[in-house]
C-alpha cells in the first residue's frame, strides 16, 4: 500500500457524483490486501487515530482499537466509510425516537470488510477481540472540526462530541491498558 497514492485516489474519488460510493471502491480495493495495509501502517499496539488527511471535504484516518474497547453511541453528521484491515469491529446502529435513541440493528466487520454509513447514522462501536483492531475510516467532511453528538452509554443522554473528545477517549483506553505514550 502506498499511503500517498491511497489518499490521492480517495481525493479524486470524492469528486465523483456519488462520492461516498466512489471512495468506498478505493477503500474496498485497499483493505482487500490487509497484509499490505499492515505493512504500510504498522501492526496496531495502542488505541489511536493516525490521521492521513484532514480537510474541509474529506478526513481519512487509521483507527486502532485496544482489545475489547467500546465507543458509546455517536453520530458523524457526514457520510462515513469504514474498512477493516486487522481484527474486527462490531457496530450497533441506533435511531432517534421521541423517547431518545433506540438500538435497531447491528453489523460485524471482519478483515477486508467495508461499510458505508449515511450522514444521519448513529452507531456505537466495539472491538470484541482480545487483540487490537485496525480500520481505515473515511468521512465526507472535516471530522475533527465538526461538533456532533454522543450518548452516555448508561443513560443514553445526548452530549456534545467532537474530534478532541474522541481523541481523549482513545487516550483513556491506552491508560486503561497501561500503555504510556512513547513506549
pLDDT tens-digit map of 35-78: 999 999 999 999 999 999 999 999 999 999 999 999 889 999 99
Q: What's the pTM value of the predicted model, to 2 decimals? A: 0.91
Cα–Cα nearest to 54, from 142, 118, 122: 142
DSSP 77: S
Q: Summarize pLDDT for 131-183 with one digit per residue, the tens.
A: 999 999 999 999 988 889 999 889 999 988 877 777 777 888 878 778 766 54
Q: Where are the domains of the chain?
A: 3-176
Beta-bridged to residue 63, according to DSSP, are: 49, 135
Which CATH number does 3-176 carry? 2.60.120.10
Residue 49, helix vs strand vs coil: strand
DSSP string covering 93-162: EEEEETTEEEEEEEEEEETT-EEEE-TT-EEEEE--SSS-EEEEEEESS-GGG--EEEE-TTT--EEEE-
- Res 180: pLDDT: 64
124 CB neighbour count, 10 Å cutoff: 20
Provide the 3-class DSSP secondary structure of residue 53. strand
Amino acid at each position: 500500500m502506498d499511503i500517498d497514492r491511497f489518499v490521492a485516489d480517495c481525493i479524486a474519488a470524492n469528486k465523483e457524483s456519488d462520492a461516498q460510493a466512489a471512495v468506498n471502491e478505493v477503500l474496498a480495493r485497499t483493505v482487500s490486501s490487509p497484509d499490505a495495509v499492515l505493512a504500510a501502517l504498522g501492526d496496531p499496539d495502542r488505541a489511536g487515530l493516525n490521521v492521513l488527511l484532514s480537510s474541509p471535504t474529506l478526513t481519512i484516518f487509521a483507527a486502532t482499537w485496544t482489545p475489547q474497547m467500546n465507543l458509546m453511541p455517536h453520530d458523524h453528521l457526514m457520510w462515513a466509510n469504514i474498512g477493516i484491515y486487522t481484527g474486527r469491529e462490531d457496530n450497533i446502529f441506533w435511531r432517534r425516537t421521541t423517547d431518545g435513541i433506540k438500538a435497531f440493528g447491528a453489523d460485524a466487520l471482519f478483515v477486508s470488510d467495508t461499510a458505508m454509513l449515511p450522514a444521519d447514522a448513529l452507531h456505537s462501536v466495539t472491538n470484541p477481540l482480545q487483540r487490537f483492531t485496525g480500520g481505515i475510516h473515511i468521512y465526507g467532511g472535516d471530522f475533527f472540526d465538526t461538533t456532533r453528538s454522543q450518548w452516555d452509554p448508561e443513560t443514553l443522554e445526548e452530549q456534545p462530541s467532537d474530534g478532541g473528545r474522541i481523541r481523549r477517549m482513545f487516550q483513556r483506553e491506552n491508560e486503561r491498558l497501561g500503555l504510556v505514550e512513547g513506549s
